[in-house]
With several copies, the nearest count.
Chain A
Amino acid sequence: MSDLDAMYQEIILDHYKHPHRAGLREPYGSEVHHVNPTCGDEVTLRVHLDGTGEDAVVEDVSYDALGCSISQASVSVLTDLLVGKRVGDALEVHEAFVTLMQGRGGVEPDEDVLEDGVAFAGVAKFPARIKCALLGWMAWKDATSQVVAHPDHEEQS
């Protein structure tokens, strides 16, 4: 498989064409807007948690993303992976994904943890695209830490 095909896995193109959980929904505990200054890709992302602290559960992640196949597919996969998980576990998956992306192609992804996310292994070989793959993930972490920091913050709905 060429490097190109390794990046544009079927799974990625599928998520790109048919993104999961797209759109902005209520209720949510925090909303963030992240931009990739290099290319202008943007994502607005909302996180809705149920409960508090590390035991809280990711009830919903909704988003409005403008961007390339990689950035769109990656946020779509993110929702599949993280929604329904406890925040602590979700953060572990997050870390595994970031490690995979920053590994320059040298990290062997754990399919049990990352599921469809392993499809992004090929992206790690393209430094310019790593930021695309991480855009939604960075937004999610930012939004989540905001809710965790202010659990008593009024939920928007």
Chain B
Amino acid sequence: MSVQLPGLLEDLELVRKDFPILGRTLADGHPLVYLDSANTSQKPQVVIDTMVDHLERHNANVSRAVHQLGGESTEAFEAARDKVAAFIHAPSRDEVVFTKNATEALNLLANTMAWPGELQVGPGDEVLITEMEHHSNIVPWQLLTERTGATLRWFGLTDDGRLDLSNIDELVNERTKVVSLVWVSNMLGTVNPVREIADRAHQVGASVIVDASQAVPQMPVDVVASGADFLVFTGHKVVGPTGIGVLWGRRDLLGKLPPFHGGGEMIRTVTMERSTYADIPARFEAGTPPIVEAVGLGAAVDYLGHLGMADVRAHEEAITGYLLEGLATVGGLSIMGPTTVSDRGGAVAFELDEVHPHDVAQLLDSRGIAVRAGHHCAKPAHRRFGVQSSVRVSTYLYTTPEEIDALVEGLEYTKKYFRVD
């Protein structure tokens, strides 16, 4: 490697060898330059191998069977819960609920709050979100508030892509029942002051939900220290498989939610007259859970733990800094979101004058460089900046400075191709 940056992961070339897909050659012989990790991360061999071993040797349904395979499968599944709990510093493993993805975790919360219970949201209540949320943290609350007669309110954004907290005292008030916000924006890259907002929300008795889908992959997370009452993330962005997400919640609050989906494993007993429900976490895990996915996620957080999340964070900062510098050299390119690395994650969205994001992505792809073009499931934030779509580059622990160089060259090539000067 030629470029040396302080903060890069040691043995980056070896780390990259853990990810088989990074060795792939694409059309026209271009090596893959994968800069779409905020969309989904690539998987290390150990995650894939752990899943294969489970499917080839230990596959059985969990919790239900006396037999040896059932025991092995249950043990592997529950060990994954222990690993995830430790990874996010949850006080108790029972507070870790496995869902399908982050979206299901957020819907679980919004959905159960529609029904009678201590956390029920009703007419006159307010739910507060932000203009930089992912659609998965907007639509569930729109549905909830529309259906229950509550009011949805929004934190606005500043021109440099941070939360506008100037009216926080008005926004967070005695009617506020829920504050749900993203920790690290998947579009702007902004890292929000979650703890500060949570403290304010708790003063008025609101519950705080943190969408940590982009935070857990990138930085050390301590759920208690974050100030969250509930926190969600998704397996496929932390080098784990699709099909699994995590809802963490404070035990007392999880216990106050009515059941979500009904079915096998979430019950204590079922009679024709009525059913009673199991304790957390089983209470919220109706049906056969994503077993091999949980096992894969366990291996994924083990992998990240071995690298060390502080080092992953340092790598992300170093690479993002290098990326921001590189993009600054490209004329006609304007970044949405913070342009310095402080309080910033590794997703950078931008526009290029006179070339539509789709066309930018297409041109880059023709050189093997994978970025995302579109609204990144954050339409309100795009509208806030007066654009309809953007190009997003997102790095991860396997990203090298050379890949950023290739990107910057690709952008210059794009401009030439579209005759922009």
Residues of A within 8 A of B363 (CB): 4
From the candidates B70, B362, B382, name the one contacting A40 in the complex (CB within 8 A). B382
Which A-chain residue is minimally distant from B277 (CB atoms)?
Answer: A37
A67 to B: closest C-beta gap in Å: 7
- Whether A35 contacts B358 in the complex (CB less than 8 A), given A42-B388, A128-B66, comes out as no
Please encode chain A, from 92 to 129, with 1 for each CB lying within 8 Å of some chain B CB and 0 for all others: 00000000000000000000000000000000001111
**Residue pair B358, A67 in contact (C-beta under 8 Å):** yes
* Interface SS of chain B: mixed
Q: B356 to chain A: which residues have CB within 8 Å?
A: 67-69, 72
Contact digits for A2-43, partner B, Cβ 8 Å, 1 yes 0 no: 111001100001000000000000000000000101111110
Bits for A43-73, please: 1 = Cβ < 8 Å to B, else 0.
Answer: 0000000000000000000000011111110
Whole-angstrom distance between the alpha carbons of A8 and B366 in the complex? Answer: 12
**Which residues B376-410 have CB closer than 8 A to chain A?**
379, 382, 388-389
Q: Which of B28, B74, B75, B268 contacts A37 (CB 8 A)?
A: B268
How many residues of A are counted as interface, with CB atoms below 8 angstroms from the partner's CB atoms?
Answer: 25
Are the CB atoms of A127 and B375 closer together than 8 Å?
no
A148 within 8 A of B: no
Residue in B28, B70, B357, B389 whose CB lies within 8 Å of A128: B70
Instruction: Tell me the chain B residues, 264-314 only, with Cβ under 8 Å from chain A.
Output: 265, 267-269, 278, 282
A83 contacts B by Cβ under 8 Å: no
Assuming A4-B362, A66-B388, A67-B356, is B267 touching A128 (CB within 8 A)?
no
Q: Smallest CB-CB separation from B28: which chain A residue?
A: A2
Contact between A38 and B71, CB atoms less than 8 A apart = no
A77 at interface, CB cutoff 8 A = no
Known A-B contacts A4-B366, A35-B269, A67-B358; the reply to A40 vs B65 at CB < 8 A is no
Known: A13-B418, A39-B374, A40-B389. A129 touches B74 (CB 8 A): no
Over the window 114-151 of chain A, the binary record of Cβ atoms lying under 8 Å from chain B Cβ atoms (1 yes, 0 no) is 00000000000011110010000000000000000000
Q: Are B374 and A40 touching (Cβ within 8 A)?
A: yes
A128→B71 contact, CB < 8 A? yes
- Asked if B64 is at the interface (CB within 8 A of a chain A CB), the reply is yes
Q: Check: B63 CB closer than 8 A to any chain A CB.
A: yes
Does B74 lie within 8 Å of A70, measured CB to CB?
A: no
Q: How many residues of B contact A (CB 8 A)?
A: 33
Task: Give chain A residues whose Cβ lies under 8 Å from the Cβ of B362.
Answer: 4, 7, 126, 129
Select one of B66, B267, B269, B417 contacting A129, CB under 8 A. Answer: B66
Selected contact of B388 from candidates A40, A72, A126, A128, CB within 8 Å: A40
B373 close to A (CB within 8 Å): yes
Report the separation of the CA atoms of residues A42 and B357 in the bound assembly, to the nearest whole angstrom: 14
Flag if B373 contacts A39 (CB, 8 Å): yes
**Given the complex, which residues of B lie within 8 Å of A67, measured CB to CB?**
356, 358
How many pairs of residues, A versus B, come closer than 8 Å at their CB atoms?
A: 69
Known: A39-B375, A41-B358, A69-B359. A127 touches B74 (CB 8 A): yes
Distance of B113 from chain A, by nearest CB (Å): 25
A126 CB to nearest B CB, Å: 7
CB distance from A14 to the nearest CB of B (A): 11
A113 to chain B, nearest CB (A): 27
Residue of B nearest to A8 (CB): B417
- Give complex CA distance A37, B63 in Å: 9
On whether the beta carbons of B389 and A39 are closer than 8 Å, the reply is yes
Cα distance, A41 to B382, chains bound together (Å): 13
| Cα distance A35–B421 in the bound complex, in angstroms | 30
| Whole-angstrom CA separation of A37 from B389 in the bound complex | 11
Q: Which residues of B, 1-59, contact A by the 8 Å Cβ criterion? A: 27-28
Report the Cα distance A41→B390, complex, angstroms: 11
> Are A2 and B366 CB-contacts (below 8 A) given A8-B417, A38-B64, A66-B388?
yes
Q: Whole-angstrom distance between the alpha carbons of A10 and B132 in the complex?
A: 38
Which B residues between 323 and 371 are near A, CB-CB below 8 angstroms?
356-359, 362-363, 366
* Most A-side CB within 10 Å, residue of B267, B268, B362, B379: B362
Among B27, B269, B358, chain A packs the most CB atoms within 10 A around the CB of: B358
B388 and A37: CB pair below 8 A? no
| 18 new A-B contacts at CB < 8 Å, known A40-B375, A70-B359 | A2-B28, A3-B366, A4-B362, A4-B363, A13-B418, A35-B269, A38-B63, A38-B374, A39-B373, A40-B374, A41-B358, A42-B388, A68-B357, A68-B358, A69-B358, A127-B75, A129-B362, A132-B358
B residues whose Cβ falls under 8 Å from a Cβ of A: 27-28, 63-66, 70-71, 74-75, 265, 267-269, 278, 282, 356-359, 362-363, 366, 373-375, 379, 382, 388-389, 417-419
Listed in ascending order, the chain A residues whose CB lies under 8 Å from chain B are 2-4, 7-8, 13, 35, 37-42, 66-72, 126-129, 132
The 3 closest A-B pairs by CB, nearest first: A68-B358, A68-B356, A39-B374
